[in-house]
Structure 1
Amino acid sequence: MRRLFLHINVSLDGYIATPSGDIDWRFADQEFQDHIDALLESIDGMVFGRTAFEQLAGYWPTAGDEVSATQRRRMHELPKYLLSHEPAGVEWHNSHWLGDDPAKALSELKRQDGRDIALFAGGQAAVSAIRLGILDQVRLVVNPALLGGGTRLFDGAYSEADLKLTGSHHFTSGALLLTYDLTG
């Protein structure tokens, strides 16, 4: 059975975006870009919340040389799943709305053969995945930055969960990748 994992950048004070919604504050050196290339090659699908989906659907189809060829190719070809209460335009290549019962849809996807599925963006989507009991792992890229405000990663109500640290990686930028498995 494949896993659904959250992979997201977060500031040291727990924010994923500035008050204006900007995510360009995160560290993204070549080592991190290589990590993202390898990550995209290792998965069979991506899940996004509505806001992130709409932002990324406006960017990736026309992305140029500012991103790697691997990122352009994989962001185009990988299945993209929208975790939202309502359907949205899913014109972005290979995009799918998870429907009225996203827990069931994602559970079915997890039971299929293949590689893991990544939940890449959206604080609300992350909380929803925890609340629905479908998230298996959390991969936080903790950036050496204090934003002082903005969009919190885990903002909302969800059940208490125990996590087990199963991996860590120190990037030369000072960012840390912390991998936790949900244990309960």
Structure 2
Amino acid sequence: MRKLIFGMNVTLDGYVVGPGDDITWGKASDELFQWWTDLEREITLSLYGRRLWEAMSSHWPTGDQRPGATPAQIEFARIWRDTPKVVFSSTIGEVAWNTRLVTGDAVTEITRLLAGDGGPAKIGGATLAAAAVRAGLVDEYVLVTHPVLVGGGLPFFTAVDNWVDLNLVETRTFPGGVVLTRYETRR
């Protein structure tokens, strides 16, 4: 059975996207970017909601070919392209770059995907992840908290139906006051 990881950059007040779909508050140092790249290298399946998919697919398919791309950005782009992806959406018609589109029930499909063999899967997009959290499918939470308050937007966590006990497995501080916390779900 696959492990499911929900991890994103988040503001100190708990948002992954600020008002007006603003994501410019997240400043990744080279060290933090490398940490995300190292995590991405371990992932064998990426699950995306539509909005995060659109943001990622607008940049990373050709991120290694952009002028001024750093070695870390080149590596991330190649890993991202090669990793199988599933996008959950009822509003887009097609996807590309080693990706499959699912328009049906997300929780049913995620459950099916996790039941199979393979390395860890990562879920991205707070709305999609909220359904997986409520269904009790998330095994690990990764919050990379940036020292900024944005006052609103799309939260990392939405309301949960049941109490979820967690174990802290890692903390790390990055340049600029960014703090990583990783938690595993207690089962």
Q: Structure 2 length as normaliser, TM-score?
A: 0.87
Distance 1:25 1:97 in 2: 30
1:152 aligns with 2:155: yes
The number of equivalent residue pairs is: 182
**How much does 1:156 deviate?**
4.3
After superposition, the C-alpha distances for 1:122-177 in whole angstroms (9 at most, x for unaligned) are: 22112111122211111000111111222222234543312221221111321111
The reply on whether 1:110 has 2:141 as its aligned counterpart is no
User: For residues 25-174 of structure 1, what are the structure 2 equivalents within 5 Å?
Assistant: 25-63=25-63, 64=66, 65-66=68-69, 68-84=73-89, 86=90, 88-120=92-124, 122-156=125-159, 158-174=161-177
For 1:142, the aligned partner's letter is T
Unaligned runs of 5+ in 1: none
Task: Flag the 1:151–1:87 CA change in 2: closer, same or farther, 3 A.
Answer: closer
Superposition RMSD in Å? 1.9
Structure 1 counterpart of 2:38, which letter?
Answer: A
Structure 2 unmatched ranges of 5 or more = none
Question: Structure 1 residues 66, 147: closer, same or farther in 2, change over 3 A?
Answer: farther
TM-superposition CA deviations, 1:103-140 (whole Å, max 9, x none): 332233223332201113x2211211112221111100
CA distance in 1, matches of 2:113, 2:80: 19
Using structure 1 for the length normalisation, give the TM-score.
0.88
Give the secondary-structure state (helix, strand or coil) at the position aligned to 2:148: coil
Once residues 169 and 95 of structure 2 are traced to their aligned partners in structure 1, the CA distance between those partners, rounded to angstroms, is: 37
1:35-94: CA deviation from partner (whole Å, max 9, x where unpaired): 12211111111111111112222222232244611111011111111133x263333211
Query: Does the 8 A contact of 2:29 with 2:174 survive in 1?
Result: no
- Percent identity over the alignment is 30
1:151 and 1:165 mapped to 2: Cα distance? 24
Deviations along 1:19-48, one digit per CA (max 9) or x if unpaired, are 011212112010011112211111111111
Residue 175 of structure 1 is matched in structure 2 by 178
SS of equivalent residue, structure 2 residue 184: strand
Q: Distance in 2 between matches of 1:143 and 1:100?
A: 34
Q: Which residue of 2 is the match for residue 11 of structure 1?
A: 11
Comparing 102-111 with 173-182, greater Cα deviation is found at 102-111
Tell me which protein shows more helix as a share of its residues. 2
